[in-house]
Amino acid sequence: MSIPFNLTASWLAPAFSQLNLTNCSTLTPFLADLMLNVAHHNISNMTMISEDFTTVIRFLDAAVPNDWPHQYSASELVQWYLDIWSNPTYQSTPQFTMMWYGLENTAYGACNAELCNSLQIKGDPDVSGRGMMGAYYISAILSTIYFFVLIIDRLSSSHKIPSRILDAFRESTNTFLDEALIFAVAMLASTVVRYASVTHSDDNFDNYSAYRLLGSVFMSTFAIFPCLLLQSVAGGLRRRFLRQGLWTVVVGLKVVVIIQMNTVYIQRFVYDMSNPNDAQLESVPGFFREYLWSRYCDNNPLVARTLIVEYTGALLGLLNLLWLVYYVLTSLPSVGRSVASVLERSGALGMRRNGHAARWERMWRYLLLLNGIACSIVMWLLLVFFTSWSIHVQNKAPSTDEDTKWTFGQVLSLATWVPVFIEWLAILVAGPEEGLGQRLSTSYEVTKVTATDEARRMNQGPSSDNSHGSLAPSYSFVTEHADQKTKL
């Protein structure tokens, strides 16, 4: 097989050792086509079956040495491919093995950029499309601004924030938190469905993608942290029953996502990819392509750093879960009274009524600040790392990546935050009473009450949902026909 192949009376094909295998523009499409056949159709990677004979002809034409003296036609190149390259007898020879080894080394090394661009990696527009990325950044920027504005108001009474701007942030927090929780639930639920599709349906090889599976986990985790930032500093919130239900759903879905990630991803992408066998490469749709992408194209150090942040965020979320459990339980009338009774018997309430109350409030506010800074760091690291990963995928597969395409869902994701902007602007321009009142019919109007007034009216201490006794004003509405105040 080190001598030329005499295929026809008119053409003598070069031997394997004489081939020119340095043309990346023809070599990588040919090799990628064979690899994608394995990914699509569960065929052996050594059958050398190609669906695109145009690619085969271009590859073989470039492989023939430039000074080869024998002329040939396209049909003769096809005959060469079918009779020699696809023939198991020739494939088992040392000459073919050496040639193929050199071809793969060239593709994975000098032709890496062309090979990665030929693997038909589509990205994930449902998670990393432009509209979704815009929604993430809006959520992160707004929640960071809300947190620091409100925590500054708590830490210092001599700040320079105008009262109208402070009212706009404080009184629109209710809407922002609800929108953020709904967005987080949607992200987590979509992640659960995506992992289930990989587990129960292996016919779509695009589902078998670490970028899609891990990306949905990273961004669903990210979506929780704006909620934590807002919940930690929001005072005088209403609709507690709805919010408790949403938090319960968020926690439950996150537990499911953690279990799915540590079974599906760890098993299929960490263990299997590190030591694949021929059965997996040839029988699991998408496995071979994902193996090649992970080994030769992906930014694995960046993925590892993002995973560290993901697990750090899970631990931080667990610490915040303790406060959320307290928040939910003490909001229940019977539990709240029991907690108050225990505190009074232990003397804790007496401590708060004495000189230790101010010290406790000050300590708690600084704990909120530290927790908010930690949550902000994790939130922004997840977002920045995932953005970098998305850009890496777009650069490696520019011809097939779909992250730059706008989809219907991406437009809807951006619209999630429109009510927040509208309410903030309405309160800023018209004031809290009129700005909040614009949401109501003419049968109702908004009036201002302080937390102290609210507590006196309810015949109890400061509301547990008003974040530890903050005296920030809240707003209620009354009917025109009755002198009865009702919570908004």
User: What is the pLDDT, as a whole number, of residue 139?
Assistant: 95
pTM: 0.80
Q: How far apart are CA 409 and CA 128, in angstroms?
A: 12
Q: How far apart are CA 237 and CA 171, in angstroms?
A: 9
Distances (CA, A) of 464 to 149, 278, 326, 340: 21, 60, 10, 11
Show the low-confidence residues of the chain (pLDDT under 50): 1, 9, 42, 44-46, 349, 458-488
Instruction: Name the nearest CA neighbour of 173 among 220, 221, 229, 132.
Output: 229
Q: How far apart are CA 286 and CA 42, in angstroms?
A: 9
Helix residue ranges per DSSP H, 109-209: 112-117, 125-128, 130-155, 163-200
Contact 477, 486 (CB under 8 A): yes
User: What is the pLDDT, as a whole number, of residue 253?
Assistant: 95
Instruction: Encode pLDDT of 330-383 as tens digits.
Output: 666 665 556 556 555 555 545 555 555 566 667 777 788 888 899 999 999 999
Residues 6+ apart with CB under 8 A from 42: 282, 283, 285
User: What is the pLDDT, as a whole number, of residue 52?
Assistant: 67
User: What is the pLDDT, as a whole number, of residue 479?
Assistant: 42
Instruction: Name the nearest CA neighbour of 196 among 120, 287, 259, 274.
Output: 259
How is 324-338 classified by DSSP, letter by letter? HHHHHHHHSHHHHHH
User: What is the pLDDT, as a whole number, of residue 136?
Assistant: 96
Q: How far apart are CA 395 and CA 392, in angstroms?
A: 5
Instruction: Locate 229 and state its tokens.
Output: 């930032």
Contact 267, 287 (CB under 8 A): no
Instruction: Locate 434 and state its tokens.
Output: 């009129």
User: What is the pLDDT, as a whole number, of residue 333?
Assistant: 61
SS3 at position 447? strand
SS3 at position 483? coil
Q: How far apart are CA 322 and CA 331, in angstroms?
A: 14
User: What is the pLDDT, as a whole number, of residue 414?
Assistant: 85
DSSP H helix total and E strand total for the chain: 23, 5
| 14 DSSP assignment | P
H or E stretch at 445:
strand 444-449
Is the alpha carbon torsion for 455, 460, 462, 463 positive or negative?
negative
Give the CA count within 13 Å in the CB-facing half-sphere of 167: 19
Q: How far apart are CA 166 and CA 156, in angstroms?
A: 13
Query: Which pairs from 195-204 meet CB under 8 Å and 24+ separation?
Result: 195/257, 195/260, 195/261, 195/264, 196/260, 198/264, 198/268, 199/260, 199/264, 202/284, 202/285, 203/285, 204/285, 204/286
Residue type, 27: L
User: What is the pLDDT, as a whole number, of residue 10?
Assistant: 59
